Structure 1
Amino acid sequence: MNINQIARIASLVGEPARAAMLLELMDGRSLTANELAKAGRVSPQTASKHLAQMVEAGLMAVAQRGRHRYHRLSSGDVAKMLEGIMQIAGDKPPRRSVVPGPRDESMRMARMCYDHIAGRLGLAIAERLQADGAITFDGEAGLVTDRAEALLRPWGITLASAAPGGGRGRPYCRPCLDWSERRSHVAGRLGAMICAHCLDQGWLSRKAGARSLAITAVGVATLRDLLGLALWEWVTSEGQAPRTA
């Protein structure tokens, strides 16, 4: 046990701006330095210094996505530590102060991300498949398990080596950081297959040239059953009912 390291971690978490940034990531999202600066109510320059210290100490991890750098809690152990502090402090987890992504509610609900489904619906699909053990995410990698074939059969999906949008060297399954939710939805050939199937079955519809996806009446009923009622309520938890076509 290194007493100095314990004291250092405590001092990092104990500074109000840094604590606010850490708590903003408690729901599993990944946020940019500017977004976390808003959460901590500090300037971007000050936030960058705080974030560098927390990354160096192992409290946060950072990943490059194009021109953006996204920060997240480095592990479940960090989240458990923060939960323990919140319990001792006697406060409930704070409400989100950062709401990234598009303002258009239809885009936040469901949209195309290249050739797969993003938004709250995309995240619900990923959560359901992970909860059922059909897929697992490990960092940048995604794994389709031997349970996936049976679990996707009720969806009407048959796994195959060739999927829509497939190409040599393209991963079969990978996590894709969601622009609005800042958690990972399903990409790769499996993600393209699921998206194409939902469109072919009429569960989702798309207007020409638009990224947003409308959930049809039959889609509402079908996806509610496939995803589970609790997850469906979570998808629509911000008070917006799925649009019908």
Structure 2
Amino acid sequence: MREGPDIARIGSLIGDPARANMLTALMSGKALTATELAAEAGVTLQTASSHLGKLQDGGLVTQTKQGRHRYFTLAGSQVSDVLEALMGLAARSGHLRTRTGPKDPALRKARICYDHLAGDTGVRLFDSLYERGFLTVQPEGTAVGLTDSGSDFIEGFGIDLLSLKKGRRPLCRACLDWSARRSHLAGALGAALFERMQTLGWARRDVNSRAILVSPAGGRAITEWFPIQADIKI
């Protein structure tokens, strides 16, 4: 047997349809119970508990007990990064599931992707930062850097950039948006931008889905702070 990381085990854990649905549900960043995850996966509670045990043993989810309930979350941003990459690869390769419904337009406009903003609004932020020279993007599209002028802009927006840089998480990362087929901003900066928008009252999470609800005033503010002058392709 060859030495090194066992990607086959991780692949098999994610590759099961029921477990994939559970992991996708946890991309909302919320802690969910086994019952809620069973509903997401379309399986019985007993089956869901078995799947969750495997995911926990594999280091993909963690659980916290509160009272009579056990809550499950993704085991950190590394797991969400892998899931985002796989979702982007699936979208780029044309492997999409069709699920229509009244929430679809809202999800496409703005949704949470673990802890950062995705959908059309998330793509707008990324495009605006890149267009104005605040971000650098390498040809392969995933390596993203923040320029000096970008740092000034981010700090002017009320984000403590120094604290973000001290963390272990990558500051900037491009994530291929499955609905827009374009990049939105992930990493510590992507999370901080969304947190700042919530603090300003521009946006809030829909408690019943992954949709992000942007207020009319918030929509105007986002347009002012993150203008787009041209139709760019990144």
Report the structure number with the largest CA radius of gyration.
1
Are 2:234 and 1:214 equivalent residues in the alignment?
no
Q: Which moved more, 1:154-163 or 1:218-227?
A: 154-163
Q: Give the 3 Å change call, closer, same or farther, for CA 67–186 of structure 1 in structure 2.
A: closer
Q: 1:101 to 1:109 in 2, by over 3 A?
A: farther
- How has the CA–CA distance of structure 1 residues 67 and 195 changed in structure 2, closer, same or farther, with 3 Å as cutoff? closer
Shift of 1:65: 3.9
1:183-232 deviation digits (Å, cap 9, x = unpaired): 1110000000001001111100113252100111220221121122757x
Q: TM-score, normalized by length of structure 1?
A: 0.50
Describe the superposition over 1:158-184 as per-residue Cα deviations: whole angstroms up to 9, x where unpaired.
Answer: 422337xx952x211010010101111
Write the mapping of 1:90-239 to structure 2, written as runs, cut at 5 A: 103=100, 104-138=104-138, 139=140, 140-162=142-164, 168=168, 170-228=169-227
Q: Which residue of 2 aligns with 1:83?
A: none
Equivalent residue pairs, number = 143
Residue 58 (structure 1) aligns with: none
Paired residue secondary structure (1:162) = helix
Deviation at 1:147, TM superposition (A): 1.1
Distance 1:69 1:216, change over 3 A: closer
The answer for unaligned runs of 5 or more in structure 1 is: 1-63, 73-97, 235-245
Q: Distance in 2 between matches of 1:67 and 1:225?
A: 30
Secondary structure at the aligned position of 1:66 is classed as helix
The residue aligned with 2:86 is 66
Q: CA deviation at 1:135?
A: 1.0
Identity %: 33
CA RMSD of aligned residues (A): 3.3
